[in-house]
Structure formats: C-alpha cells, structure tokens
Amino acid sequence: MAGVSTESLKKVEEVLGGNLAVSPDHLARELFAIVDVLDQDGGLRRGLTDTARTAQARASIVKAIFSGKVSESAINVVSAAAQQRWSDERDLADALETSAVIAAVAGAESAGGAQGLEEVINDLLTFINGVDASADVQRALTDDRAQRGAKEKLALTLAGHPDNTQSQLLIERVAVAPRGFTPARLAEKFADQIVKRQQRSIARVSAAKPLSEAQIEKLRAGLSKAYGKELKLDITIDPELIGGLRVQVGDEVMDGTVQTRLHDLSRSVV
C-alpha cells in the first residue's frame, strides 16, 4: 500500500482492536465475506472510496447495506475503513482482508496464547511448502473448474489437517479466494503479516539434510543477531543442494550451498 493507504490501515486497525473482544473468529469470517462482496461489486467499492462523498456518507452506505447481515463489530470496522482515504480503491478491500487476518490471530492468541499463534504460523508454512513441492498440486488449486470444497479439502490435507480453528479458516481462505495471488503466495503474505506483528521475520532455510536441534538453535541465534530481530525459521530439506544452506529473509538471499559454489566455479573456468 502507498502512503495514504498505509496511514488509513493503521486507523482501521485501531478500530478493529476495540471490536475483537466478543468473537474474533466470527469477525474474521465476516470481514472475509465483505471482502468478497467488494471484489465482486465494483459500484459498491467505488462508492465506499469516492472522496466526492463525505466520510459520514460513505459510512452510511456501509450501514445501509450490511446492517442486519453481519455483526455490529463488523459494521464498525468496515465503516471505519469506508471513512478513510485510499490511494487505490482496491486498498479498501485489502485493508479489510488484513483486518480479517488480525482477527484470526486474536482468536488464536485467545484460545491458545503464544503457542496457539505459533501453530497457525507453522500450519501456514506447512501448507506453503506442500504446495511449492508439487506442480500438480499447484495446478489443482488454481484450476477454475475445481469445486470450492475440493480445494478446501486439498489445502487442509497439505497443511496436515490442523486442529486449530484459525489455521483452518486462513488455509481454506487462501485455497478459494487468493485475490490475484496464487494460494501459496497469499498464505506466505498471511504468515508474513502475522510474524511482522510480533516484530519478527521469517527466514526460509533450505538444507541438504536434516539439522539437529543444536544446529537449528545456533542458526536461529546467528541469523537473529545478524538481522537485529528474532527470526522464525522455516526449514525445508532439498537433497539437490548437495551440502550447505540457502537462507532467504524477505528479498535477501544468502546461498552457501555446494551446488551454488560448484555452479560459480564452473562459470569461472569456462
């Protein structure tokens, strides 16, 4: 999001924080449903972002359309979003999607504390790695002919059939409503949003063979020190690397694999 939208999102999140006490999981589902409505109805989307209307007029549209159909908490959040200014009309729905993820996070923390939230992150990462490992799975999840229920079932299987209600919600969501992303990349976006709120980042580590607990902790400590913040490690095994590690944090990649060194060597002698 650009500057104006970023500031508007902060204001929406403030209102969201005051509406999470009753049922955050239910609120998350409602917000996702409203995102779907906005994505499908360009006229409504434009009406709620039209700065020719007053902020109160835009909020009144929200109440007129959604009152009696969703909770008061959802009305409050969407009304707050409609009263803000957005750099692009799509940013309104994006902000509500982010709010839905935050609501799911609040539900996980309420139900299971820090461990509950960690389970959600781990389930999303398991799903991402499962999708990325199979071209057939990627095609199945992006096949427009596939039924919604089939995609949800496949996505939950890839995530290891999580018991966590919030994991189920987010994983089903990325499977059926990726909104311009692929399912795996939207799941990646959700995971990044969650760890960012914890002032962490995800370090995606590819290793040639499994690491011991001691090795993992040493790697976690070294990377966290290097980046000046705690990192959540997402470790996958890739025997094709031959040896060494490949680490990606955001857009930065550190490649210390034998495979890469051999490739660089071969290029240098050609």
Q: Where do the domains of the chain lie? A: 3-110, 200-270
- The one-letter code for the residue type at 65 is I
pLDDT of residue 241: 82
**pTM beyond 0.75:** yes
Work out whether strand 201-207 and strand 231-237 pair parallel, antiparallel, or are unpaired.
Answer: parallel
pLDDT of residue 264: 59
245 beta partners: 207
pLDDT of residue 238: 87
Distance of alpha carbon 27 from alpha carbon 75, whole angstroms: 10
pLDDT of residue 270: 43
pLDDT of residue 265: 42
pLDDT of residue 75: 98
Tell me the Ramachandran region of residue 203: left when phi exceeds 0, alpha when psi lies from -120 to 50, beta otherwise. beta
Distance of alpha carbon 208 from alpha carbon 51, whole angstroms: 54
**What are the average pLDDT values for consecutive 10-residue runs of the chain, which has 270 residues?**
89 97 94 98 97 97 97 98 96 98 95 93 97 96 96 98 96 97 97 89 89 90 88 89 83 75 51
Picking from 171, 164, 165, 97, the residue whose alpha carbon sits closest to that of residue 130 is 171
pLDDT of residue 260: 64
pLDDT of residue 259: 61
Distance of alpha carbon 97 from alpha carbon 105, whole angstroms: 13
Picking from 1, 49, 9, 235, the residue whose alpha carbon sits closest to that of residue 129 is 235
pLDDT of residue 33: 98
